[in-house]
Amino acid sequence: MSTVHGNLSGLKPDQLHRLGKTYRRRVSAHEVLSAELAAYLTGLSHEIKRQIGVLISRGGVVEDVFVGDERGVVIPDLSRYRLGRTALRGVRMVHTHLRNEALNQDDLTDLALLRFDLIAALGVDAGGRPGTMYLAHVLPPNPDNRVYEVWAPTSFHALDLHLSTFLHSLDEEFSRLRSNHHVNQDADRAILISVSEKHRVVQEESVTELRELAASDGIVVLDTVIQRLQTVHPKYLLGQGKLKDVVISALHRGADFLIFDQNLTPGQTKAISEITEMKVIDRTQLILDIFSRRAHSREGKLQVELAQLRYTLPRLADRSTALSRLTGGIGGRGPGETKLELDRRRIRDRIALLERQQKTLVKQRHQQRALRTRHNYPVVALVGYTNAGKSTLLNALTHNHCETSNQVFTTLDTASRRLRLLTGKEVVLTDTVGFIQKLPKGLMGAFQTTLDELNDADLLLHVCDLSSPTLDDQLRVVSSVLSELSLTHIPRLLVLNKSDRVDSTQRDTLAYRLSGIAISALNTASLPPLLEAIDNHLQTCAVDALALQNT
């Protein structure tokens, strides 16, 4: 006999046995509840003075039986009934109300959060017989933004509803609206959330960047939620009540993800995931997912996997659906402690192996750099904010065809090409991964071998997007990262790219204020002044180095 869940303390063996026999009952697919099962539940509920709930599949099978107290029930784990791509869960929830009362707000919140086919409260009359029937169901997206509809109360025996036909039409309406609103049905859909004590303008700029990250990862953004709070909730960020409202709205709009602009602690991820089965990720996880898609070289893939595992390990004890996107199922709910420890050990072993492989790559890079030194090739490294146009500039200067796109983090793998200056002098031009605000420190650590290339550079070309509305912030972020990498001693030349996107007055003003060279990587006619500046800087560096040797 299947297990009865919930508040069973104090019940007699005979009562427990009769509760268990509820699983044997069958309901027609065309009715919410059979008259036989309704009388059985109300009579037993009246006897034990507790609410009784059942989950019934569309095929009419009683899937779960659970007992509450006189005021409510606690719904058991629903992991068996995954939502997937469907709007409804495929089971209906029916429970008794001892005082024949209507559905309350908790019932309706459960309906909206858990996406039952419908929720029903069956009133118990004074004699323990079925009384009034109260029904509600979720609504497809609509102009009024109504999440659910509550039906008018009716006597159980007077209820006239052909359930299978009703649910079929509801499914079709959900599917029709989803196909109308989303061109790519296979794309993930997300709600972006920012919760911070910072000014709203600052949050909006950060969320705009988060939207670009999501687009780069192939995610369709349905909506954004920005909350400025005096104090961020330590567990849920924006408070449990508001979080439930956001989750209900996200589910109503067909979202698969909640993406937080703030990096979540393991405890916060766990707490939020206990409220919703939607995937919950933060900015770091989104960046990691982009990196995992974009890394092509063996070294790039190694560095991304290392960063992912370092991120996952401390969160393994608080496993949830939030990790499934990165770990391919390691983050599933409900494993035993033995399995958990096994996963931890495997991840630690894998990290150790990757770190050994990384050390080997470091040695190989040292050998390559030594070879360049023997050939006396100066190294010029491109650095800058992501999507500033570094790879496009590399292609324009060296007549190459490295991958470019108008998306963040197109380049993850280091690319080095030979560049001939106007004087005929040859240098090595190196492209590196772009920087971004709130760049995870673990990610910087994993990409240390790539960033080590910058240590041997004779000149850094700091490429920025002159047309960006957050130009000053991006310049600050890049300078901060270079400082963290202890690269401030290397000469730097500021390259103001995408100057074709601003008017000439703004271009000249910014070039003067920032002491940079305005170019457009798409217009080769604008590049000679940059080549000349590179040559002059390298000559100055060579003179300074010679003077230093003679002192």
State the Cα–Cα distance between residues 61 and 110, nearest whole angstrom: 21
Burial pattern 304-337, b for ≥16 Cβ within 10 A else e, equals: bbbbbbbbbeebbebbbbbbbbbbeebbeeeeee
Token reading at 474: 């991006």
Whether domain 376-550 has CATH 3.40.50.300: the reply is: yes
Whether 508 contacts 496, CB under 8 Å: no
Looking at residue 330, its pLDDT comes to 27
Check pLDDT > 50 for residue 335: no
Q: Which amino acid is at 413?
A: D
The residue written with tokens 């309901």 in the block is 27
Question: What CA–CA distance (Å, rounded) separates 73 from 50?
Answer: 9
Distances (CA, A) of 239 to 234, 249, 391, 394: 9, 15, 43, 47
| 188-294 shares its CATH topology with 376-550 | yes
Task: Report the alpha-carbon distance of residue 135 to residue 138 in Å, rounded.
Answer: 11
With a pLDDT cut of 70, the percent of the chain lying above it is: 85
What average pLDDT does the segment 130-155 reach? 92
The b/e string for 98-132 (b: 16+ C-beta within 10 A; e otherwise) is bebeebeeebbbbbbbbbbbbbbbbbbeeebebbb
Q: pLDDT value at position 300?
A: 77
Q: Per mean pLDDT, which of 255-264, 286-295, 439-448 is the most reliable? A: 255-264
Banded model confidence at residue 454, pLDDT cuts 50, 70, 90? confident
The predicted pLDDT at position 440 comes to 67
According to the 3-state scheme, what is the secondary structure of 271-303? HHHHHCCCEEEEHHHHHHHHHHHHCCCHHHHHH
For residue 442, what pLDDT is reported?
A: 66
Residue 154, Cα to own-chain centre: how many angstroms?
Answer: 44
pLDDT value, residue 324: 39
Residue 426 pLDDT more than 80? yes
Chain centroid to CA 375: 46
pLDDT at 296: 77
Q: What is the mean pLDDT of residues 456-462?
A: 92
Candidate from 148-157, 233-242, 335-344 with smallest mean pLDDT: 335-344
User: For tokens 């894998």, what's the residue?
Assistant: 350
Domain residue ranges in the chain: 4-181, 188-294, 376-550
Cα separation of 171 and 140, whole Å? 9
Looking at residue 536, its pLDDT comes to 92
Q: Please tell me the predicted confidence (pLDDT) of residue 173.
A: 87
Position 328 pLDDT exceeds 50: no
pLDDT tier, 321 (very low <50, low <70, confident <90, very high otherwise): very low
**According to the per-residue pLDDT averaged within each range, which of 329-333, 396-400, 458-462 is highest?**
458-462
pLDDT at 2: 80
464-503 pLDDT, tens digit per residue, is 999 999 999 999 999 998 898 888 999 999 999 999 999 9
pLDDT in tens, 17-27: 999 999 999 99
Please say whether the beta carbons of 133 and 54 come within 8 A.
no
Q: Is the pLDDT of residue 52 over 90?
A: yes
> Which pLDDT tens digit goes with each residue over 60-106?
999 999 999 999 999 988 878 877 555 789 999 999 999 999 999 99
Q: Given this structure, which CATH class describes domain 188-294?
A: alpha beta
The mean pLDDT value for 11-16 works out to: 95
Residue 255, CA distances (Å) to 62, 187, 219, 425 in order:
29, 10, 10, 55
pLDDT value of residue 325: 36
Q: Average pLDDT of 336-346?
A: 70
Q: Give residue 349's pLDDT band: very low, low, confident or very high (50, 70, 90).
A: very high
d(CA 91, CA 57): 4
Q: What is the rounded distance in angstroms from the CA atom of residue 237 to the CA atom of residue 243? A: 8
Give the model's pLDDT for residue 243: 92
E strands, 348-449, are 379-384, 415-420, 426-431
Distance of CA 316 to the CA centre of its chain: 17
In this predicted model, what pLDDT tens digit does every residue of 183-215 receive, in sequence order? 456 678 899 999 999 999 989 999 999 999 999
Express each pLDDT in 496-539 by its tens digit: 999 999 999 999 999 999 999 999 999 999 999 999 999 998 98
Helices 13-20 and 35-48, axial angle in degrees (round to 10)? 160
Give me the mean pLDDT over the 216-234 stretch: 91
- pLDDT at 365 (0 to 100): 72
Tokens of 268: 């916060």
